[in-house]
A and B are shown apart, each in its own frame.
Chain A
Amino acid sequence: MFQLSDNPTTDTAAKLVVVTVAMFAFVFVVMVPLYNVLCDVLGINGKTNGEAYISVDVEVDTSREIKIQFLTSNNAGMPWEFGPTVKLMKVHPGAVNDTVFFARNPTPEAMIAQAIPSVSPARAAAYFHKTECFCFNQQPLEGESSAELPLQFIIDQDLPRDIKTITLSYTIFDVTDMASSAVAAR
């Protein structure tokens, strides 16, 4: 085996220091990315894709109708009024659907918000494609102003047939403080 030192004790200690440093690095460069990859692949946590989906197959499956429910909630301390304009939609898999959410900043100061989507049942997350979503970007709003937030989505034709209802829920977070050093991926 390779030697880091001629003194056997120093050699053992040096190798163990290497292990220690490697394990510390392992947390950052393996565990964190691996967790995100696994969540994406398995669709756990109902996390949906962060980037716009480009539709390849436009065939609409009219044989079934999926109920889409929209829910919103505000993270603790977030004062915005935020909600869907339509709470329930019935859509066909493959069809392109549009809806609009509204947001109002009732405070006098300008704020920046970030909406985080989550799909339930988690199994459906991989089949819920957003072609356009306000959640892809941060949303700035001047004090006491409001905005309409568009969402365009397609339900995949491969959605398992036992799923009849999908709930899309958004939690809106105040990221005003973070926005300058934003690392937000979605």
Chain B
Amino acid sequence: MGDHHHGPAKGPLRWITTTNHKDIGTMYLWFSFSMFILGGAFAMIIRAELFQPGMQLIEPAFFNQMTTMHGLVMVFGAIMPSFVGLANWLIPMMIGAPDMALPRMNNLSFWILPPTFALLASTLFMEGGAPAAGWTFYAPLSTTYAAPSVTFFIFSIHLLGVSSIMGSINIIATVMNMRAPGMTYMKMPLFVWTWLITAFLLVAVMPVLAGAVTMMLMDVHFGTSFFSAAGGGDPVLFQHIFWFFGHPEVYIIILPAFGVVSQIIPTFSRKPLFGYDSMVYATASIAFLSFIVWAHHMYTVGMPVAGELFFMYATMLIAVPTGVKVFNWVTTMWRGALTFETPMMFSLGFLILFTIGGFTGLMLSIAPADFQYHDSYFVVAHFHYVMVAGAIFSMSAAIYYWLPKWCGRMYNEKMGQMHFWISFIGFNLAFFPQHFVGLAGMPRRIPDYALQFADFNMLSSIGAFIYGASQILFLYNVIATIRSGTPTSEEKTWEGAEGLEWTLPTPAPYHTFETPPAVK
């Protein structure tokens, strides 16, 4: 070892110029948490307005901006970057690589994000307000009837697409070229596998989203008529293109979460993951199927019956590989020596709540039944069970699980357990009643509702406030851990943990695996 073995650069410029995967991972995680707070604030405004029927606090136009911005910020600003941050931190450490394959591009793909979201958030202060057509921004609401800020929105979608694609290219290049000798594909930890497949999905569909917003841009400014019937176009075309991106997108969000849970459940069951091979094949099958089910989001547009049937059966087929995964997680725990530390609690919460979300997804996949559920609060409940209890719960689990390895300090277990239980109760109180009001006919994205939904909506709002508050506790716990947590230097923070990252010293040094480890 020579003196090239330096630590991080001094001063704030370190964070601007860094190419270190750990620094960039940390920045991604903090950025996504700040976006989580921002998107959460939008959600609190929505739930405050819906606390009681009638128009209470905000104007309907502003309400539409809130639902739109909440969705955009949470999907593109909070969930996606948080998993990219996790990938940056962990993939090199898990496959025995010294860094990501393209470190400078890594720096660029992070630093595109803060200006992009500043641009998106700035539309709130523009004349006509922020985008208000929903996070799915269907044309012509997002073209003919959009506020002038739609151009800024389109530009920010382009930029965050560029960032995601660069991040994905980096992850694929790292996994394909930088594995330690002996680390064959079928020996890779499942988190690496799920991210590899996710990255391929991103490279395939982010350009499709870019294409959709480019068409919007041309319709709005350059006189084309992709989505305008007057010029021979068709607004329904927008929905097809959007969901051709949008359905793989939901697996982009959930597959890394599957990977996280597949690392954590074996650790706290003290057993190897049951059915590793089938997990890999199930992940790949889900990714493949995600490309041929998009129209189940638009059963009501007037498709031919054959189309409805095709998309219905293809969608139901996804339950098979997903069922394989749930079965494997449960079987991993079967007769294991279980303990219930915070990461395990969040993983179990994920397992139960994601499965509920999966079942409501199956209900929605039934084309004739979907005509009733379509655009109701039932859909809102469904996708929050898979997005929040799926992606965000697993993200919380991941932070508690790897934080001691990252910073060499143990988090406060009691506070972690409190965070879990408050989240779990708040989440279910917020979203379970939405199934009932949805089935009873309450439409989504409307700032007012009929009186019979008042009680459930009040419960829902209280639950949302509780869930929101629990994240402040989480933030406090993380900061307290980094600043003054009990120091730990054990290589294996968790007795049952397996994998290369647990062979490294704790806290993980700035440079790791400069000589690749031997993998048997």
Q: How would residues 483 to 510 of chain B score, 1 for a CB under 8 Å from any chain A CB and 0 otherwise?
A: 0000000000000000000000000000
Stretch of A37-45, A89-97, A147-155, A157-165 contacting B (4+ beta carbons < 8 Å) = A37-45
A116 with B229: CB separation less than 8 A: yes
B176 with A12: CB separation less than 8 A: yes
A178 with B231: CB separation less than 8 A: yes
Stretch of B60-68, B234-242, B456-464, B467-475 contacting A (4+ beta carbons < 8 Å) = B234-242
A16 with B207: CB separation less than 8 A: no
- Flag whether B318 is at the interface (Cβ < 8 A): no
- Flag whether B224 is at the interface (Cβ < 8 A): yes
Q: How would residues 174 to 204 of chain B score, 1 for a CB under 8 Å from any chain A CB and 0 otherwise?
A: 0011100000000000000000000000011
Separation of A50 and B232 alpha carbons in the complex (Å): 9
A28 with B231: CB separation less than 8 A: no
Kindly identify, within residues 214 to 237 of chain B, every residue whose CB is under 8 Å from any CB belonging to chain A. 215, 223-226, 228-232, 234, 236-237
A42 with B304: CB separation less than 8 A: yes
A23 with B231: CB separation less than 8 A: no
B304 with A183: CB separation less than 8 A: no
Separation of A50 and B234 alpha carbons in the complex (Å): 14
Residue in A9, A19, A23, A36 whose CB lies within 8 Å of B101: A9
B207 with A20: CB separation less than 8 A: yes
Residue in A35, A75, A114, A184 whose CB lies within 8 Å of B240: A35
Separation of A98 and B73 alpha carbons in the complex (Å): 56
Determine the chain B residues whose CB is within 8 A of the CB of A8 once the complex forms.
Answer: 176-177
Determine the chain A residues whose CB is within 8 A of the CB of B244 once the complex forms.
Answer: 31
Q: How many A-B residue pairs have CB under 8 A?
A: 107
- Flag whether A82 is at the interface (Cβ < 8 A): no
A24 with B234: CB separation less than 8 A: no
Given that A27-B208, A35-B237 are known contacts, is A16 also in contact with B232, CB under 8 Å in the complex?
Answer: no
Separation of A8 and B212 alpha carbons in the complex (Å): 32
Kindly identify, within residues 129 to 182 of chain A, every residue whose CB is under 8 Å from any CB belonging to chain B. 171, 173-175, 177-178, 181-182
Residue in A19, A45, A185 whose CB lies within 8 Å of B302: A45
Separation of A104 and B170 alpha carbons in the complex (Å): 61
Determine the chain B residues whose CB is within 8 A of the CB of A184 once the complex forms.
Answer: 225, 230-232
Given that A31-B244, A44-B304, A184-B225 are known contacts, is A16 also in contact with B203, CB under 8 Å in the complex?
Answer: yes
A183 with B225: CB separation less than 8 A: yes
Separation of A114 and B241 alpha carbons in the complex (Å): 26
Residue of B with least CB distance to A27? B211
Given that A116-B229, A181-B223 are known contacts, is A45 also in contact with B234, CB under 8 Å in the complex?
Answer: yes
Determine the chain B residues whose CB is within 8 A of the CB of A186 once the complex forms.
Answer: 232
B230 with A32: CB separation less than 8 A: no
B173 with A39: CB separation less than 8 A: no
Given that A26-B208, A39-B234, A185-B232 are known contacts, is A12 also in contact with B177, CB under 8 Å in the complex?
Answer: yes
- Flag whether B29 is at the interface (Cβ < 8 A): no
B229 with A17: CB separation less than 8 A: no
Determine the chain A residues whose CB is within 8 A of the CB of B223 once the complex forms.
Answer: 177-178, 181, 183
Separation of A17 and B102 alpha carbons in the complex (Å): 14
Separation of A114 and B205 alpha carbons in the complex (Å): 35
Determine the chain A residues whose CB is within 8 A of the CB of B173 once the complex forms.
Answer: 9, 12-13, 16
Determine the chain A residues whose CB is within 8 A of the CB of B207 once the complex forms.
Answer: 20-21, 23-24, 26-27
- Flag whether B169 is at the interface (Cβ < 8 A): yes
- Flag whether A68 is at the interface (Cβ < 8 A): no
Residue of B with least CB distance to A181? B223
Residue of A with least CB distance to B234? A45
Cβ contacts A to B, 25 pairs, < 8 Å: A8-B176, A12-B101, A12-B172, A13-B102, A19-B204, A20-B203, A23-B203, A24-B211, A26-B211, A27-B208, A27-B215, A27-B241, A28-B215, A31-B244, A36-B234, A39-B234, A50-B232, A75-B230, A173-B230, A175-B231, A178-B223, A181-B223, A183-B232, A184-B232, A185-B231
- Given A28-B211, A31-B241, output 9 extra A-B contacts at Cβ < 8 Å: A9-B102, A24-B210, A27-B211, A32-B237, A39-B234, A44-B303, A44-B304, A45-B302, A178-B230
